[in-house]
Amino acid sequence: MPISTLRAGMVNRLWLLAWAVAASLAPAATYVLPTNHDTVVGDVHVVQVHGDSTLLDVMRHYDVGYDEIVSANPSVSVWTPDTAAQVVVPSKYALPPKPWAGIVINIPQRRLFYFPAAKHHEQPVVMTYPISIAREGWATPLGETRVIAKYRDPAWFVPDSIRAEHLREEGVELPEYFPPGPDNPMGMLALQTGFPGIYIHATNHPWGVGMRTSHGCIHLYPEDEAALFPIVAKGVHVRVIDEPVVIGREHGQWTLSTYAPVAEYANSLAPYSRALVAMLPVIESMRDRPYMDIDWDRIALLVSHPQPFPIAVTVGQPAGQQIVEKLPVETYAFPSYGTDANNAALPAGSQ
């Protein structure tokens, strides 16, 4: 065997080992699926930031996205949070409507959920990651498809439409071709879906995860793509949905999570009407006194002020602020990721 072939094989094995180690250090995002008819996983945290960390550092460490962390902390500065500020980390999620199989992407929630097929005697689990979605004027197709290919170190041939848009809006012409590497907008790992031109891939701008930054592709933190890429096989089912109101159930209580509707997905119903439609199964299940048991004022408030983590909507249950006030305050003293981590490479230690 030629020396060059041996060297290439060795480099490839070392590369794979590095990604495997980094994936094992990725933030915990795997939860055992509830078996008691509940549909909520995770926990909310409250942290006090020390040092020079920003909300961007906090969100990446806890594996939440920009939209989630800002919605949960509207009065906290993104770049210079006060050291006395208590930052709410909304790492609690209402699962998407069933079926729970393969990859489910809820665009308004800006979350990807992966439901791997459970092996014999194993408990079913869900893995969830924050995502960036399509920018204004663009949209990811809704519906069902599959993963049709997987690429390591992809190159990117920039479509003419994107180059023209960038020149028009930024006054700078993009190159026709981005080679593989940490500065490639495709990231270093990519899953191709059956939707033309739509990939689930890492990003070279992780601080933008949770924003509207793509032209239809789904962007993940590099460490999240490194965790997802090895375990998703070609052929895995992908379902993309538009659900700005997600009904959940936790400890026997009905909950609601709300997200800003995405204008590119036209809907004839107003946000509150969409919430009422989403609540119909709940109303039907509460046959005796449904209207008296549901806190309709709270539902109206949650619709008008998006709430990223689930809140009970039955009368007498604590509101979001009351829940947060009872949580212990944890110290956040992790090192800042630094501006040099805003690329497609894995951060040092994958924090």
Q: Which residues are catalytic?
A: 201, 217
Interatomic CA distance for residues 186 and 154, integer angstroms? 7
Return the residue matching tokens 């249950």.
317
In 3D space, the residue among 187, 183, 203, 193 whose CA is nearest the CA of residue 152 turns out to be 187
Instruction: List, in order, residues 6 or more apart from 25 with CB less than 8 Å away.
Output: 223, 349, 350, 351
Interatomic CA distance for residues 335 and 351, integer angstroms? 9
Instruction: List, in order, residues 6 or more apart from 28 with CB less than 8 Å away.
Output: 63
SS3 content of the chain, % helix, strand, coil (to 5): 30, 25, 45
253: phi then psi, degrees, rounded to nearest 5: -105, 140
Provide the terminal-to-terminal Cα distance of the chain, rounded to the nearest Å. Answer: 40
Which three-class secondary structure state does DSSP give residue 349?
helix
Where do runs of H (alpha helix) occur along the chain?
3-24, 55-61, 66-72, 160-170, 222-228, 271-285, 290-293, 296-304, 320-325
Interatomic CA distance for residues 206 and 223, integer angstroms? 10
**Residues forming beta bridges with residue 45, ordered by sequence position:** 89
Residue 137 Rama label (left phi>0; alpha psi -120 to 50; beta): left
236 residue type, one letter: V
- Burial of 66-77, coded b for 16+ CB within 10 Å and e otherwise, reads bbbbbbbbeebe
Radius of gyration (C-alpha) of the chain in whole angstroms: 21
Give whole-number Cα distances, 216 to 68, 184, 201, in Å: 20, 16, 11
